[in-house]
Chain A
Amino acid sequence: MAGLPFSQLDGAGHLRHFLTTEGLSRETLTDILDTADSFAAVGKRAIKKVPLLRGKTVVNLFFEPSTRTLTTFELAAKRLSADVMNINLKRSAAVKGESLLDTLHTLEAMHCDMFVIRHASSGAAHFIARNVAPHISVMNGGDGRHAHPSQALIDVYTIRQHKPDFSKLRVAIVGDIAHSRVARSQIRTLRALGVKEVRIVAPRTLLPPMPEALGAKVFLSLEEGLRDVDVVMMLRLQQERIQGPLLPSLHEYNACYGLTEKKLAVAKADAIVMHPGPLNRGVEIDSEVADGPRSVILQQVSHGIAIRMAVMSMILGRRDAAKEPG
């Protein structure tokens, strides 16, 4: 009955904003991964910078603190030669009662080209994309429990380096699915790329209502969920979950859902282990696994910049291309 959902794609099907992995085609996702390959090479040079976005201004608008994500977005923009401004609204105007739209319009007036948004409320990036001036693109750096699309791309990029044929893969996502924007984006991305089986493993208190609707197979037992998988993607458990009625204790969570070498034994022998960070060692993952031979966690971190460079340049390049044909 309500209007059509807002689209992150332009009329030609190219990215105009980057809000969610939901609805992105396999081709678009693969383009991003391929482009990221090229940018990964740039990071290994003496001068880790290309002039692609010279003259453009990227604003990191963070309404929720996150040093790690902010840093990689900032580095990505800088390596593309864009000017970068970091605005932490937790501390500035937002507290003085200025509305979100007022803040946006103030920044728009400064002729920015892209907002990277991180916000604690689901749908915040959509809201901002819907309301910004047409010359601004929005990149979602994580909104509430909804989506964290660049993190999901980092994860599949990492998987692709180890296991290029997605059609044969079994992937288990383990942990707090209900509250995880990363998990939602991961499931969509893995499905779109044709992964054979996506599993979610969690106690029922950490599953959303109707979890199968996300497009994954539900496992309540970690032992069963890990059987014969090629990839294990662990999720961070927020400590605050213990304070509510969702879990009795970190200790019990670790005993049932914490990843140990022993539990990992039922996975395929060459299975890789991932985690979007930051890690709660001894809660969702034991150090012997996190630092072990199957862990690719540090690789994930290093891929963050290339993925974000790829998305930024694809959005800003395409948009300008659409503006000035020929």
Chain B
Amino acid sequence: MNIDPTETTALLKSLATELRVRLHELARKDPLMIGIHTGGAWVAEYLHQALAIAEPLGVLNINFYRDDFSQSGLHPVVTPSDLPFAIDGRHVVLVDDVLHTGRTIRAALNEIFDYGRPASVLLVALVDRGGRELPVRADVVGRKLSLTPGQQIKLSGPDALCLEFRDC
């Protein structure tokens, strides 16, 4: 079962709209946008453009912050994090594709704070599939899905972003 590309595009559009509203409500001016490598960065790229954010897009690779390093080791090739701006005192929009256990977000927040002290962090997820293991919630969600632990959802890209489901 896949959500077809047009539907994913629609989802991205509504996500952008909701984020714009939310930022306005919270009065978060001139936010910085950071996507989590790789799927989150694709979503962020779309949102960055849609919201016409002035500062360049930041990309976070949380490989060095993962809590399962001891189990799965270091992935040999790592695209480094690239945050081409100073983070201190700024409002940050953190973007991921699929919110699941919350561990990735925990790692991302840790890394962000190693770069500096942001004024706030707003979490955006294209899909929230449930299954949280940490007290993490997204501020803006494209779609909520209830998946069983055996099911997987993955965003393919970077051209024509498309959500794919898989049963394991």
Chain B nearest CB from A73 CB (Å) reads: 18
**How many Å lie between the Cα of A42 and that of B79 in the bound state?**
12
Interface string of A39-56 (1 = CB under 8 A from B): 111100111011110000
Q: A45 to B114, Cβ gap below 8 A? A: yes
Residues of A within 8 A of B65 (CB): 50-52
B77 touches which of A31, A50, A51, A313 (Cβ 8 Å): A31
Q: B70 to A314, Cβ gap below 8 A? A: no
Interface footprint category on B = 20 to 34
Residues of B within 8 A of A320 (CB): 69-71, 73
Given contacts A41-B82, A51-B110, contact A324 B74 (CB under 8 A): no
Q: A314 to B76, Cβ gap below 8 A? A: yes
Residues of A within 8 A of B80 (CB): 37-42
Q: B115 to A47, Cβ gap below 8 A? A: yes
Q: A31 to B70, Cβ gap below 8 A? A: no
Residue B157 at the A interface, CB < 8 A?
no
Interface of A is mostly: helix
A322 nearest in chain B by CB position: B73
B77 nearest in chain A by CB position: A34
B72 touches which of A38, A41, A321 (Cβ 8 Å): A321
**How many Å lie between the Cα of A37 and that of B80 in the bound state?**
7
Chain B nearest CB from A129 CB (Å) reads: 20
Residue B21 at the A interface, CB < 8 A?
no
**How many Å lie between the Cα of A321 and that of B73 in the bound state?**
5
**How many Å lie between the Cα of A17 and that of B158 in the bound state?**
37
**How many Å lie between the Cα of A37 and that of B114 in the bound state?**
18
Residue B64 at the A interface, CB < 8 A?
yes
Chain B nearest CB from A278 CB (Å) reads: 30
Residue A160 at the B interface, CB < 8 A?
no
**How many Å lie between the Cα of A37 and that of B81 in the bound state?**
10
Chain A residue total in the interface (Cβ 8 A): 25
Residues of B within 8 A of A317 (CB): 69-70, 72-74
Q: How many A-B residue pairs have CB under 8 A?
A: 70
B81 touches which of A41, A51, A324 (Cβ 8 Å): A41
**How many Å lie between the Cα of A46 and that of B76 in the bound state?**
25
B88 nearest in chain A by CB position: A46
**How many Å lie between the Cα of A320 and that of B74 in the bound state?**
10
A325 nearest in chain B by CB position: B71
Residues of A within 8 A of B82 (CB): 41
Residues of B within 8 A of A91 (CB): none
Residue A287 at the B interface, CB < 8 A?
no
A45 touches which of B70, B71, B115 (Cβ 8 Å): B115
Residue B104 at the A interface, CB < 8 A?
no
**How many Å lie between the Cα of A39 and that of B69 in the bound state?**
16
Residues of A within 8 A of B76 (CB): 31, 34-35, 314
**How many Å lie between the Cα of A34 and that of B76 in the bound state?**
8
**How many Å lie between the Cα of A39 and that of B61 in the bound state?**
11
B71 touches which of A35, A46, A50, A321 (Cβ 8 Å): A321
Q: B71 to A318, Cβ gap below 8 A? A: no
Q: B64 to A50, Cβ gap below 8 A? A: yes
Q: What are the 9 closest A-B residue pairs judged by CB atoms, nearest first?
A: A321-B73, A50-B64, A317-B74, A317-B73, A41-B80, A47-B114, A38-B80, A31-B76, A38-B78
9 chain-A/chain-B pairs, Cβ below 8 angstroms: A31-B77, A34-B77, A50-B111, A52-B65, A313-B64, A313-B74, A318-B73, A318-B74, A320-B69
